[in-house]
Chains A and B, each alone.
Chain A
């Protein structure tokens, strides 16, 4: 019996604490466990009894990378429970805030966390020595994403300007104009980012996934739409819990989410892109064609190109919103508490983030449910690793470990979010 053990104690360049354990017996993968041991955080429990108005500020604290997603899913869910619709300029401002978060998150992941894997560098610092311009571009792009979030959110992480019904303060025309030149630069930089990532070497690895994302009648999705898949799912987000179940597994403090009767599914940039390519503006589609990335994209390693295309989309969308902006007379619509139940589902950079709240007559939270994207992808990540390791089983241990980490980063996992850090262990016999 041949035995091999590959063990990496701490998987860097992902958010949070976790470990990967792969058991190999006689060149067959016997078991793959993505273990998450970030302590449970009990957000759902301590939201109970809080006033509805406090929820976006509390849930923003779940993640330092995607606080906007938590704020957006919570305000949409609560507004639904309260029978309030936020549209017009306020809705556009919310999209603009989300553009900022997508830019920040995607740029950080693409250049600083994932690109070094493809180019054979241990980290972005070593990559910067040979590719200083790419890294400088990344830093400047990320700063522009930060500037958008700061302008609308009041500060660059854990924004404080979002409220149920809109914002506490709407930006002035001059504050918006101040970002136009930087965003014009960012448009070109994002095109270069697409070309840079498309030129990376990709492992030959394609899988047959069920992709799940929001789909809106006219827009590339951020915060609204039906939940659809490439295998016929087409539901109102209110029916999310009828179709998806969270399952506890002993090796993880994150719950695994499965699609009833079908199992694992795939959320995030690749799912959005494959299901909503026709909603991208012609300019983004054109560069996608130029680099040969028309859907369906089935190689998860190519998610790095999709993130770059989504960065370009976010920059263009931000410019569109800023150019059309007229400061609204009121920064928020009026809210009156009432009893009700509401669901919200928005596209965090890593994929759909579902929230459901039930509120009492006085607007206090009775129950809360939060399903983050990483727990939805966890089973798909384990499946990928199983197939990927089997196909790459002859690689030397060090190389195999490297590629497993790279495969996990395809999902840009945010483990601190999903529990509601990573250790890699390959045990081969």
Chain B
């Protein structure tokens, strides 16, 4: 669709109605006003085929999602997905059976990963239906947003260089 896409793309992934699964969406919404106005920010449900499609043409992508790996809630993660695999089962609370981890690994196999793809994750405590973050995730959110902003700005500098 967009063969020459935006240089840097920020994508928040999650389900706004599944408690901590909303963390990815809330984080990019909070990051947006802190970042240069021209930045393309997308919100995605985590459906794999749409994800694969939406980052086409982008030189660098920051993908933000909640993590369900059993670690301490609020733990922050950074994965350089362009060079390291996404741990299986990490993002199991993607809404669909073919989700974020699958789409990243599929893109790697098919040779269509963005040249830079960095995933920022926050460990969630609760993924039940309903709105509102758990205390641990809400507490981690400001630092999470700060890290996302720093990543985007660094990638923008690199792309301009």
A binds B: yes
Knowing A139-B49, A157-B45, the reply to whether A15 touches B106 (Cβ < 8 A) is: no
The secondary structure that dominates the B interface is helix
Look across to chain B and name the residue whose beta carbon is closest to the beta carbon of A147: B1
The secondary structure that dominates the A interface is helix
- Give the size range of B's interface with the partner: 10 to 19
Look across to chain B and name the residue whose beta carbon is closest to the beta carbon of A15: B97
Look across to chain B and name the residue whose beta carbon is closest to the beta carbon of A416: B95
- Give the size range of A's interface with the partner: 20 to 34
Per the 8 Å Cβ criterion, residues 33-48 of B in contact with A are 45, 47-48
When distances are taken between beta carbons in the complex, the residues of chain B under 8 Å from A12 are 97
Look across to chain B and name the residue whose beta carbon is closest to the beta carbon of A107: B49
A132 within 8 A of partner (CB): yes
Give the Cβ gap from B23 to chain A, nearest Cβ, in Å.
19
B102 within 8 A of partner (CB): yes
A13 to B50, CA, bound (A): 17
Knowing A124-B106, A132-B110, A143-B53, the reply to whether A112 touches B45 (Cβ < 8 A) is: no
B136 within 8 A of partner (CB): no
When distances are taken between beta carbons in the complex, the residues of chain A under 8 Å from B97 are 12-15, 112-113
A39 to B19, CA, bound (A): 15
A123 within 8 A of partner (CB): yes
Q: Is the CB of B45 within 8 A of A136?
A: no
Look across to chain B and name the residue whose beta carbon is closest to the beta carbon of A65: B96
B109 within 8 A of partner (CB): yes
Q: Is the CB of A64 within 8 A of B95?
A: yes
A364 to B96, CA, bound (A): 33
Q: Is the CB of A108 within 8 A of B98?
A: yes
A326 to B72, CA, bound (A): 58
Knowing A139-B49, A143-B49, A146-B50, the reply to whether A128 touches B98 (Cβ < 8 A) is: no
Contact of A64 among B96, B106, B128 (CB under 8 A): B96
Q: Is the CB of B109 within 8 A of A125?
A: yes
B123 within 8 A of partner (CB): no
Cβ contacts B94-109/A at 8 Å (1 or 0 each): 0111100010011001
Q: Is the CB of A112 within 8 A of B53?
A: no
Look across to chain B and name the residue whose beta carbon is closest to the beta carbon of A112: B98
A156 within 8 A of partner (CB): yes
Give the Cβ gap from A123 to chain B, nearest Cβ, in Å.
7
A123 to B53, CA, bound (A): 20
When distances are taken between beta carbons in the complex, the residues of chain B under 8 Å from A132 are 109-110
When distances are taken between beta carbons in the complex, the residues of chain A under 8 Å from B48 are 112
Knowing A64-B47, A157-B45, A157-B47, the reply to whether A123 touches B110 (Cβ < 8 A) is: no
A129 within 8 A of partner (CB): yes
Give the Cβ gap from A105 to chain B, nearest Cβ, in Å.
11
Q: Is the CB of B110 within 8 A of A124?
A: no
A113 to B98, CA, bound (A): 8
A41 to B18, CA, bound (A): 13
With A41-B129, A112-B102, A132-B110 already in contact, 6 other A-B pairs whose C-beta atoms are closer than 8 Å: A112-B48, A128-B106, A135-B110, A136-B110, A157-B45, A157-B47
**Residues of chain B having any CB pair with chain A under 8 Å:** 45, 47-50, 52-53, 95-98, 102, 105-106, 109-110, 128-129
22 residue pairs of the A-B complex, CB under 8 angstroms, read A41-B129, A64-B45, A108-B49, A112-B48, A112-B97, A112-B102, A113-B97, A123-B102, A124-B106, A125-B102, A125-B105, A126-B109, A129-B109, A135-B106, A136-B110, A139-B52, A143-B49, A143-B53, A146-B49, A146-B50, A157-B45, A157-B47
**Residues of chain A having any CB pair with chain B under 8 Å:** 12-15, 39, 41, 64-65, 108, 112-113, 123-126, 128-129, 132, 135-136, 139, 142-143, 146, 156-157
